[in-house]
Amino acid sequence: MTAIDDIALKLDPEEARRARQERLERIGKWVLPLAIMVLAIWLWDRICVWNDIPQYILPRPGVVLQTLHSDAGLLFSSLLVTLRITFLSLLLAVIGGVGLAVLFAQSKWVEMSFFPFAIVLQVTPIVAIFPLINIYVNNQTVKLLLCAWIVAFFPILSNTTLGLNSVDRNLRDLFKLNGATRWQQLRYLRLPAAMPYFLGGLKIAGGLSLIGAVVAEFVAGAQGQSSGL
C-alpha cells in the first residue's frame, strides 16, 4: 500500500463525517423551526386551558383557525388592501429614495442642505405626523400610502447615498483621467458600486413599508370591512 492510499483512507472517514454533519445541518434548518413552532402553539393552547382565559382576550389556536376559515373572504380582501398600500409605498420609496440619492451624489451642497430634513422625518414617530396628514389629505388611500412611504423612504435614501459616495477614489480618478462625463461616472461606476447598499436598504424598507401600512391603518381607523388590517 502506497502513501497515497494511506492518505485516501484517512480522508474518507473525515469526508464522510463532514457530509453527515452538513446533511444534519440541512435537515435541522427546517426541522428545528417547525418543532419550535409546534411547541409554541401547544403551549399557547395549554396556557389558555390551564388559566381559563376568555376567548375575547386570548383565543385558542383552534378558534383562530376556525375564524380564518369562516371569514376567509373578508380577511383576504382586507389583506389585499394592506398589501397594495405596502407595495405602492415601497415602489414610491424606491423611486424617491434613489432619485434623491443620485441628486445628493451630484452635489454635496444639496446633500448637506436636505439630508438633515430626511433624518428628522425618519426619527419623528409616524403617530405624531399622521394627525397633520389627516387634516390636509382627504383621500383615505393617499393618507395610508403617505404614512407607509415616510417609514420606508429613509433606509433606501441613506443606503443608496452611502453607496454612491463609497466609490474608490482611485477608480473615480481613473474615470476622470479617461475623460468620462459625470453621467458616465454615475452610470458605469457609482450606480454599480451602490447596488449592494441599495439592496440592503431595500431589504429593510420592505419590512418597514408593511409595518407602516399596518400602523397607518390602525391610527387612521377602519372605514368599512375591507379597509385593510
Among residues 129, 155, 100, 127, which one has the least CA distance to residue 215? 127
| Tens-digit pLDDT profile for residues 131-179 | 888 888 888 889 999 999 999 999 999 999 999 998 888 888 888 888 8
pTM comes to 0.77
Rounded Cα–Cα distance for residues 128 and 134 (Å):
11
Rounded Cα–Cα distance for residues 84 and 226 (Å):
12
Query: Which of the given ranges, 2-6, 67-71, 88-92, 223-227, has the highest pLDDT on average?
Result: 88-92
Q: Are 94 and 156 in contact (CB under 8 A)?
A: yes
Is the per-residue pLDDT at 22 higher than 50? yes
| Tens-digit pLDDT profile for residues 89-127 | 999 999 999 999 999 988 889 989 999 998 888 888 888
* Residue-range domains of the chain with CATH: 1-70 (no CATH), 71-220 (1.10.3720.10)
Longest dimension (CA), the chain: 88
Rounded Cα–Cα distance for residues 45 and 60 (Å):
5
Cβ contacts of 150 within 8 Å, gap of 6 or more:
121, 126, 129, 212
| Tens-digit pLDDT profile for residues 51-92 | 888 988 889 998 889 888 888 888 888 889 899 999 999 999
